[in-house]
Structures are given as C-alpha cells and as structure tokens.
C-alpha cells in the first residue's frame, strides 16, 4: 500500500508551528498581524501573509478531521434537541444569511450561508444537516415561517418547538463569530464566509470545555486533552 501523502511535506516550518498559527487565528479574535506579532515574541518569525496562507490551506482540513471524529462519536448517542437560527451578515453591502444548527450542549452542528431565508433555503439547510447527523427528538426554532414550511415538507413538523427563550442556545452561538467578523472588518465574499464559519465552528467545538459547568481541575484536564488532540490532527 502507498503511504498517505504528508500534507506538510513542502512547507519549511514544522507541523507544530502551522497548527499553532491556525489555532490562534481561528480560535481567538486576532488579526493576521496580531498572530504575526505574538509568534515573533516567542521566536517564530513569519509574515502575516503566511498566516493567511496557512489558515486557508490547513484550516478546512483540520476542521474536517475534527468533524469526522465528532460525528463518529455521536453515532451512538440520541440526538435530544437541536436549536436552529439564522443571522444576517453583510457582504459588500448586501445582506446574506448564516443558518446554524446547535445541539443541546451548545456545540455547532452545521453552518450554511444563503442569499435568502425562504423555504427553499431552509429546506436545503435541513436536508444537509439531517443527512449528516440523523433525526433529533425536537427542533427549536424562532417564528420565521420558512421553518414550518420546510419541516412540513420533510414530515417532521410535529418535532418543532418554539418559545420566547427556548432558542438562547442558538442565539448565543452567534457571538464568537460576530467578534471575529469585527476583527476581520467583515467578509468580502460569500465563499469566504462559508469557509470561515465552517472552520470556526469545528475549532470552537473542539475547545469547548464547558468551563462554567465543571470545577477548575476538570476544566484544566479537558483543556489539556483538547490541545493534545489538536497536535495530532493530520499526523
């Protein structure tokens, strides 16, 4: 059998440095030049354009590896409740919509960008998410009419729940991406938004240690485990 191709083969930096660069840029609200300056203080001299190249090249691959492992682990568990919501994002002055599905623990299942938020867009989003993760016991949405129209066609309208504060999980999941949007001075293309939202969601899930629910020692153990797993991605 042929050995799998090393994704880091033609890069002069070590895989550890590349993983650190991608993690800093995607996980934290830092600009390209912020990451360059932080690494320079630790003895790593790279250009901010190198940061851009590496996150574009390796970010989707790292995210895909995280998602694949997470989906495999989720297959043995019941999908209790999903929270679905859409948020508007301006791209060159034009309004687009970022659809997101969040599970009962606040981890992002799927991110999908469309130009409209009609029944067709909602149906496409639901089909993509259900195919990948299976059917949940309940789906919490807001009052947008596209949701019941799409769910009626899919035959799961009876699973829909709606309430004033029931969808806070999905509403809160938008906040980290909003912070990133301000640092990046907004997105320029729909393709870039889709790419970054997908990568950011999976990195956020990977480092979501639920520090507000556990004691300090448990949180430190989870954080160390997440960093150790990050260093093995695409190894």
DSSP per-residue letters across 94-114: EEEEEEEEE-TTS-EEEEEEE
| Host H or E run for residue 4 | none
- Measured CA to CA, the distance from residue 180 to residue 87 in angstroms comes to 14
pLDDT of residue 75: 66
Burial of 81 (0-12, 13-18, 19+ CB in 10 A): middle
* pLDDT one digit per residue (tens) for the chain, 235 residues: 555 578 888 888 889 999 999 999 999 999 999 999 999 998 999 999 999 999 999 999 999 999 888 887 776 666 788 999 999 999 988 999 999 999 888 889 999 999 999 999 999 999 999 988 888 999 999 999 999 999 999 999 999 999 878 888 888 888 888 998 888 888 889 999 999 999 999 999 999 888 888 899 999 999 999 999 999 888 7
The candidate with the shortest Cα–Cα distance to 86, out of 112, 105, 124, is 112
Domains belonging to the chain, first-starting first, are: 81-188 (3.30.420.10)
DSSP per-residue letters across 18-45: HHHHHHHHHHSS--HHHHHHHHHHTT--
| Host H or E run for residue 82 | strand 81-91
For residue 144, what are the contacts with CB-CB under 8 A and spacing of at least 6? 86, 117, 122
- Measured CA to CA, the distance from residue 100 to residue 173 in angstroms comes to 9
């Amino acid at each position: 059998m042929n050995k799998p191709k090393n994704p880091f083969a033609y890069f002069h930096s070590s895989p550890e440095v590349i993983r650190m660069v991608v993690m800093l840029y995607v996980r934290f609200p830092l600009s390209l030049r912020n990451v360059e300056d932080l690494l320079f203080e630790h003895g790593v001299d790279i250009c901010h354009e190198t940061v851009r190249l590496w996150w574009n090249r390796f970010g989707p691959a790292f995210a895909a590896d995280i998602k694949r492992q997470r989906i495999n682990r989720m297959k043995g568990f019941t999908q209790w409740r999903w929270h679905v919501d859409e948020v508007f994002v301006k791209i060159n002055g034009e309004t687009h919509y970022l659809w997101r599905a969040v599970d009962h623990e606040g981890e992002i299942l799927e991110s999908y960008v469309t130009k409209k938020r009609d029944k067709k867009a909602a149906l496409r989003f639901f089909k993509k998410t259900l195919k990948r993760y299976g059917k949940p016991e309940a789906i919490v949405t807001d009052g947008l009419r596209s949701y019941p129209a799409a769910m009626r066609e899919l035959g799961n309208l009876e699973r829909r729940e709606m309430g004033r504060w029931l969808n806070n999980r999905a509403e809160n999941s938008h906040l980290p991406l909003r912070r990133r949007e301000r640092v990046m001075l907004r997105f320029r293309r729909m393709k870039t938004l889709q790419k970054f939202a997908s990568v950011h969601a999976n990195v956020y899930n990977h480092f979501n240690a639920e520090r507000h629910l556990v004691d300090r020692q448990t949180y430190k153990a989870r954080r160390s485990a997440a960093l150790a797993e990050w260093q093995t991605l695409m190894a």
